[in-house]
Structure 1
Amino acid sequence: MKDLLFFDKMLTPKFITVIYWLLLVGVVIGGIGIMFAGYGFSFAAFFSGLMTIVFGAILARIWCELMIVLFKMNEALQDLRYK
């Protein structure tokens, strides 16, 4: 408990996985919305929605990995400080 109160242990890395899955669900819902928005079927809208899903998922993954790298760097620096 003391680690959390004095910010010796980070809480956010545990939430990054949850945030990633929420982002992924949002990207898929947005992509499907783009695919089937409007009247009738359009190849351009379908392709645009598909690309939104693919690139949105990749960008969400990259963003979450960068956040994890920052926290891993913090942990490594904390280990060096306490040794």
Structure 2
Amino acid sequence: MKSIFTFDSMLTPKLVTILYWLLIAASIITGLTTMFAGYYGVTAESVIMGLLTIVGGMLAARIWCELMIVIFKINENLQALREKHDA
């Protein structure tokens, strides 16, 4: 617990995983809503747009979360180099 309050340990990488699954759920819900909530019923266009929303949302969520993790991995590596240099 002390490492969290002194910022020796990063909490955000753990939260990124939770955020990733929330973004996946939001992507699926938005895609399904796009498919089935049209004014003119279910059309081929709404199904295609819904599928593209689901796939695009999942891809965008994955890329964004991976970029966030990369930033924290760089931080961890820099801390390891500093500790190695100081020793």
Identify the TM-score tier after normalising by the shorter chain. over 0.9
Which structure 2 residue ranges, 5 or more long, are not aligned? Answer: none
User: How far has the Cα of 1:40 moved from its partner?
Assistant: 1.7
Structure 1 CA distance for aligned equivalents of residues 76 and 67 of structure 2: 14
Q: Secondary structure at the match of 1:57?
A: helix
Which of 1 and 2 has greater Rg? 2
Q: Match for 1:65: what amino acid?
A: E
Instruction: Output the CA distance in 1 between the equivalents of 2:4 and 2:42.
Output: 52
> What is the root-mean-square deviation in Å for CA atoms of aligned residues?
0.9
- Counterpart in the other structure of 1:33: 33
Q: Percent identity?
A: 57
Q: Does residue 64 of structure 1 match 2:81?
A: no
Instruction: Give the 4+ runs in structure 1 shifted more than 6 A.
Output: none
Structure 1 gap ranges (5+): none
- Alignment TM-score, normalising by the size of structure 1: 0.94
Deviation at 1:37, TM superposition (A): 1.1
TM-score, normalisation: structure 2: 0.90
